């Protein structure tokens, strides 16, 4: 039976003080550490090379925000909206996105390690040329997401909608998509080598080879 991938969770204490995100706008080296941010609106803001460490965001919106080359370690996003946010070239380690709206989120050229996406709307997201290690997509929608030319190490898609994902130039060897659903995928036969699929999915992929399956 397929199981969710075990990853290292954020290391955050339970006695965090309430933080004010706006304070980082006035810092030469913008950073936010050891706090919880609740209900803030950070839409359309641009902050490059920001550092988030040991932070919990709850009910926060980052719509169309730009955080290029962000460094995030031990961070939780809960019920947040990062639609169309840009986190390109970021370093993301021990981070959880839970019940978040991430439509159009741009993680291109980013490095993700021990990251979990739980019950998220991640449709149209962009992970192009990203490096993903120990990353779990759990019960999330990734319709039309872009994983072009990514490097996967222990990445799992568990009970997700992966319809029309782009896996071109990305090896799926050892990647488990057997519990997920899709109507179609953009993937080459070479990329599928070693991918873990269900029997029904195997029949569907056989059509790519021009095979006719009979009972």
Segment 12-25 shows an average pLDDT of: 90
Contact 184, 161 (CB under 8 A): no
Residue 7: inside a domain, yes or no? no
Is residue 188 domain-resident? Answer: yes
Q: What per-residue confidence (pLDDT) applies to 209? A: 58
H or E stretch covering 202:
helix 199-206
Q: Partners of 55 in the beta sheet?
A: 35, 75
Establish if 106 belongs to a structural domain: yes
Residue 203 within a domain: yes
Torsion from C-alpha of 56, 115, 137, 202, nearest 10 degrees: 180
Q: Does residue 194 lie in a domain region?
A: yes
Burial class (CB in 10 A: 0-12, 13-18, 19+), 114: buried
Question: What are 113-168's pLDDT values in tens digits?
Answer: 999 999 999 999 999 999 999 999 999 999 999 999 999 999 999 999 999 999 99
3-state secondary structure of 118: strand
Domain containing 112 equals 19-209
Domain-embedded: residue 3: no
| DSSP-assigned letters across all residues of 131-191 | EEEEEEEES-B-TT-B-TT-EEEEEEEES-B-TT-B-TT---TT-B-TT-B-S--B--HHH
pLDDT for residue 189: 81
* Cα 127 to Cα 122: distance, rounded to the nearest angstrom: 11
The answer to whether residue 5 sits within a structural domain is no
Give Cα separations from 73 to 83, 102, 140 (angstroms).
21, 19, 22
Which pLDDT band holds residue 212 (cuts at 50, 70, 90)?
A: low
Say if 101 falls within a structural domain.
yes
| CATH number of the domain encompassing residue 128 | 2.160.20.80
The tally of domains found in the chain comes to 1
β-pairing, 91-98 vs 131-138, is unpaired
- Note whether 12 and 58 are within 8 A (CB): no
- The pTM of this model reads 0.92
Whose structure tokens read 């991918």?
A: 195
- Mean of the per-residue pLDDT values for the chain? 92
Q: What per-residue confidence (pLDDT) applies to 174?
A: 93
Residue 30 has pLDDT above 90, yes or no: yes
């Amino acid at each position: 039976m397929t199981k969710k991938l075990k990853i290292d969770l954020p290391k955050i204490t339970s006695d965090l003080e309430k933080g004010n995100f706006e304070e980082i706008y006035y810092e030469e080296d913008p950073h936010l550490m050891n706090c919880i941010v609740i209900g803030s609106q950070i839409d359309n803001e641009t902050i490059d090379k920001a550092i988030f460490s040991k932070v919990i965001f709850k009910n926060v919106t980052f719509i169309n925000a730009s955080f290029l080359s962000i460094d995030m370690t031990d961070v939780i996003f809960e019920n947040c909206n990062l639609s169309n946010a840009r986190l390109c070239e970021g370093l993301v380690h021990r981070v959880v996105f839970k019940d978040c709206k991430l439509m159009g989120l741009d993680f291109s050229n980013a490095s993700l390690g021990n990251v979990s996406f739980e019950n998220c709307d991640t449709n149209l997201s962009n992970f192009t040329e990203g490096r993903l290690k120990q990353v779990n997509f759990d019960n999330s929608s990734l319709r039309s997401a872009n994983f072009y030319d990514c490097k996967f190490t222990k990445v799992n898609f568990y009970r997700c909608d992966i319809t029309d994902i782009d896996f071109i130039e990305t090896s799926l060897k050892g990647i488990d998509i057997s519990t997920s659903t899709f109507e179609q995928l953009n993937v080459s036969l070479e990329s599928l080598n070693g991918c873990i699929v269900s029997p029904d999915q195997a029949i569907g992929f056989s059509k790519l080879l021009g095979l006719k399956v009979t009972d």
